[in-house]
Amino acid sequence: MNALLTQWDTEFGLPPFAQIADADFGPAFDAALTEARANIAAIAGATEAPSFANTIEAMEQAEAALDRVSGVFYNLAGADSTDAREALQRDLAPKMSAFASEVTNNKALFARIEALWQARADLGLTPEQLRVLTLYRQMFVRSGALLEGAEAARLTAVKSRLAVLGTQFSQNLLADERSWFMPLSEDDLEGLPDFVVASARAAGAEKGVDGPVVTLSRSLIVPFLQFSPRRALRQKAYEAWGLRGANGGATDNRAVAAEILALRAERAKLLGYASFADYKLEPEMAKTPAAVRDLLMRVWEPAKRKALADADLLQTRLHADGIAGPLEPWDWRYYSEKRRVAEHDLDEAVLKPYLGLEAILAAQFDCANRLFGLEFRALDVPLYHPDARAWEVTRAGVHVAVFIGDYFARGSKRSGAWCSAMRSQRKLGGDVRPIVVNVCNFAKGDPALLSYDDARTMFHEFGHALHQMLSNVTYGFISGTSVARDFVELPSQLYEHWMEVPEVLEKHARHWQTGAPMPADLLQRLLDAGTYDQGFATVEFISSALVDLAFHEGDPPADPMQKQAEVLESIGMPSAIRMRHATPHFAHVFSGDGYSSGYYSYMWSEVMDADAFAAFEEAGDPFDPATAARLEQFILSAGGSEEPDQLYTKFRGRMPGVEPLLKGRGLLEEV
């Protein structure tokens, strides 16, 4: 019996991971697609006049089996890939794209949606239902429902090929990250803190190597670049990190990226848009490429000035070490760490013992309890990997969600950090509670000790999780994080602010061995250094966002690498800093359409998150109950039930300007 095709009689309806084999997924997808096609055909071919119930609500439930199987498979494919799962991903990409095109190209189905849309004023719809109908029609039109004949067929082919290429890009990147490592001799460990040495030894064991290694996992390579005094090794590691997806051979992503950009431009033109950026940004808060560029450039110039001034200070340190050449990208983190110790008396090796994974878990749960009344109970249930852990989330004794955390780097997991849902919240068809997953790539240790950036990452992803867990809508189509791309990062980036609340750190930042709280003077120095090196971080980010925008704003570049170089030259990219995500490993943009023309959205959301936290500051309490209740009501529980600017204005009373962002990054004085 295929466990994926049965009703799961498990606690909280969790997938029965112990009963699922890789061989089950292919047949399960085939059966689920067959069922979904039959359901869609029945809706489209119904003889009854279209109603919201027999058309939109029926569509909401038509793919229930497919959603269930997909929720398991794609989470496993990202967090714990196998050869079989990767092969099935490649096979599924065109199949899933073809099914999506079948649905949106179904003229009879669209005719029913269009009839409802034209009669919407007379249907007695609730505001949420009207919003869902609007978004369904928008999805169909933007997917080509108005196209006919050859144009419709070509759009279907383009979308299918893009699905294949996105999967290929992701798998190429994972292959490069998985295959490269740099062995370290015992002498090469000189100058590295104990936690980096322990991570390197653990990585060597994971790779089956007798000795420590550096891998391309951010959680290992970044601290190596921060602390290793061996410049040649830093250069070797950094260049390998930067060459992911650009090493030639079968895993090279440069031609893949070029084809993706060409097909996206063709897709946009088939749909009547001047460029893919115009098409992609139309439903977002920004609306236009010009609005995105305006925001990015307003922050770029002060950030670049700050970064160049910092580069001069770091280069002085480089020269003091007897190195005559210019500051290089593999030098920045090393000398920045030395400068941070000198100027703020802040050494990451001293900080880490107070930032254990367990302590940060307790902190993020505690903040969620104080803000929203949530309680977390550890579960002993079978999961998909031994590293994964689960908690039941309740409020006032009522079940809210299941939360799964998967925090450690491994070769089977793609890089980065993300939040996803194996099951999303909805009320249609019963009160369905979500199963939410946070995935990170921290170095495994005993205990696992985090950098301050790692801890912020945990809070960030948990902010996304809260958006899913506190969702309170009827229709899954607008549940949780189903919002505009440049609004979705608001809850996650906002939650990071509680990581820096002094009383949170005082309570939870405790030494993993002694249990002693972080010394008051160390805590103060940590908070004082909150904007340290923000010129570097902002330049890293905005350069990537501007390249993404330029790729999609006009005609597609024949050579994306040349276009990348041209953009960086035009903005005066500092030579000692490189893009956070160079084109061949820019998974946000090329592994799918999610952040294409949309990498800017982190900064767009940051404009709001800085202003949103100021609401708590103005109330005089970072846990002010009334402000937290408004945040839940208008942001976290609302999903995509209204336009995001309307939701934010209901929460805050107005839309913000860019000044809180500049202040938060320590760049305001540069304007």
Global pTM reads 0.93
Domain shared by 126 and 266, yes or no: no
Average pLDDT value for residue range 592-598? 93
* Same domain, yes or no: 215 and 312: no
Torsion of Cα atoms, 649 then 652 then 657 then 663, to 10°: -160
- Please determine, for residue 496, whether its predicted confidence score (pLDDT) is greater than 90: yes
Residue listed under structure tokens 């001047």 = 274
Q: Are residues 494 and 433 in the same domain?
A: yes
For the segment 214-233, the average pLDDT, to the nearest whole number, is 96
Q: Is residue 120 part of a domain?
A: yes
Backbone angles phi, psi at 511, to 5 degrees: -60, 130
Q: Is the pLDDT of residue 117 over 50?
A: yes
Q: Is residue 153 part of a domain?
A: no
* CA nearest to 13, candidates 88, 68, 82, 83: 68
8 Å CB contact between 332 and 426: no
Average confidence (pLDDT) over 368-392: 97
Contacts of residue 46, Cβ cutoff 8 Å, sequence gap at least 6: 54, 55, 112
* 32, 451, 559 from 214: Cα distances, Å: 42, 17, 32
- Residue 308 exposed, middle or buried by CB count within 10 Å (0-12, 13-18, 19+): middle
Which residues span the domain enclosing 209?
180-244
524 and 559 in one domain? no
Starting at the earlier edge strand, list the strands of the sheet with 418-423. 374-379, 389-395, 398-408, 435-442, 418-423
For 531, phi then psi, to 5°, come to -105, 10
Q: Is residue 670 part of a domain?
A: no
Between β-strands 435-442 and 398-408, what pairing exists: parallel, antiparallel or unpaired?
Answer: parallel
Model confidence over 74-95: pLDDT tens digits? 999 999 999 999 999 999 999 9
Q: What is the mean pLDDT of residues 146-156?
A: 96
Regarding whether 488 and 361 lie in a shared domain, the answer is: yes
With beta carbons less than 8 A apart as the criterion, state whether 44 and 31 touch. Answer: no
Sign of the CA dihedral running 182, 183, 185, 190: positive
pLDDT digit string, tens, across residues 240-279: 999 999 999 999 999 999 999 999 999 999 999 999 999 9
Domain membership of residue 638 (yes or no) is: no
User: Is 656 inside any structural domain?
Assistant: no
CATH number at residue 256: 1.10.1370.10
What is the SS3 assignment for 288? coil
Q: Is residue 131 part of a domain?
A: yes
Burial class (CB in 10 A: 0-12, 13-18, 19+), 477: buried
Give one DSSP letter per residue of 201-221, joined into a string: HHHHHHTT-SS-EEES-HHHH
Same domain, residue pair 369 and 513: yes
**Rounded to whole angstroms, how far apart are CA atoms 414 and 174?**
6
Secondary structure letter of residue 574 according to DSSP: -
* Cα–Cα distance measured from residue 523 to residue 7, given in angstroms and rounded to the nearest whole number: 51
Distance CA 640, CA 285 (A): 12
Closest CA to 153 of 208, 75, 98: 98
Around Cβ 323, how many Cβ atoms within 10 Å? 14
Give the CA-trace dihedral at 21, 23, 26, 30, to 10 degrees.
-80
Query: Is 629 domain-assigned?
Result: no
Q: For 518-545, how does the pLDDT look when each residue is reduced to its tens digit (9 = 90+)?
A: 999 999 999 989 899 999 999 999 999 9
Question: Residue 419 pairs with which residues in a beta bridge?
Answer: 438
CA 109/CA 105 separation, integer angstroms: 8
Q: How many CB atoms are located within 10 Å of the residue 456 CB?
A: 18
**Segment among 589-593, 595-599, 666-670 with least mean pLDDT:** 666-670
**Which pair of tokens denotes residue 409?**
């780097």
Asked whether the predicted pLDDT for residue 419 surpasses 80, the reply is yes
Predicted pLDDT of residue 541: 97
The helices-and-strands tally (H runs, E runs) of the chain is: 27, 7
Cβ of 53: how many Cβ atoms within 10 Å? 10
Residue 358 is a catalytic residue? no
3-state SS, residue 391: strand
Residue 348 has pLDDT above 90, yes or no: no
Whether the CB-CB separation of 388 and 543 falls below 8 Å is answered with no
CA distance 380 to 389: 8
Domain boundary among 127, 142, 157: 142
Q: Tell me the CATH number at 127.
A: 1.20.1050.40
Q: Residue 308: CB partners within 8 Å, gap ≥ 6? A: 535, 574
Domain count, the chain: 4
* pLDDT for residue 669: 63
What would the two tokens of residue 156 be? 């279907």
Q: End-to-end CA distance of the chain: give it in Å, rounded.
A: 65
Residue from 63, 337, 461, 632 carrying the catalytic annotation: 461
Contacts of 415 (CB under 8 A, 6+ apart): 173, 174, 177, 216, 217, 218, 409, 441, 587
The half-sphere exposure of 144 on its side-chain side, counting CA atoms within 13 A, is: 25
Residue 500 in 3-state DSSP? coil
The single residue listed with the structure tokens 């990219």 is: 573
The rounded percent of the chain whose pLDDT value lies above 90 is 94
DSSP per-residue string spanning 394-450: EETTEEEEEEEEEEE--TTS-SS-EEEEEE--B-TTS-BPPEEEEEEEEPP-SS-B-
Kindly tell me if the per-residue pLDDT of 671 is higher than 80.
no
Domain boundary among 219, 244, 269: 244
Under DSSP, is residue 376 helix (H, G, I), strand (E, B) or coil?
Answer: strand
Give the domain CATH number at 462.
Answer: 1.10.1370.40
For the residues 42-56, what does the mean pLDDT come to?
A: 98
Quote the CA–CA distance of 431 and 166 in Å, as a whole number: 34
Q: How many CB atoms lie within 10 A of CB 153?
A: 14
Q: Are strands 418-423 and 435-442 parallel, antiparallel or unpaired?
A: antiparallel
Q: Which tokens hold the place of 656?
A: 């913000």
The Cα 548–Cα 583 span in angstroms is 9
Tell the residue number behind the tokens 């330029």, with chain if given: 550
Question: Which residue pairs from 337-344 have beta carbons closer than 8 angstroms and sit at least 24 positions apart in sequence?
Answer: 337/226, 337/227, 339/313, 339/314, 340/529, 340/532, 340/533, 343/532, 344/525, 344/528, 344/529, 344/532
The single-letter code of the amino acid at 344 is H
Q: Are residues 405 and 544 in the same domain?
A: no
Widest distance between CA atoms in the chain: 83
Which of 223, 244, 265 finishes a domain? 244
Cis omega before residue 447 (within 30°)?
yes
- 342 and 210 housed in the same domain: no
Same-domain status, 383 and 430: yes
Domain check: are 236 and 263 in the same one? no
4-41 tens-digit pLDDT? 999 899 999 999 999 999 999 999 999 999 999 999 99
> Bridge partners of 408?
442
Residues 364 and 510 in one domain: yes
| 609 inside domain | no
pLDDT bracket for residue 667 (50, 70, 90) = confident
Instruction: Please check whether residues 79 and 41 belong to one and the same domain.
Output: yes
CA 42: distance to chain centroid? 36
Structure token digits, residue 648: 């934010």
Length of the chain: 671
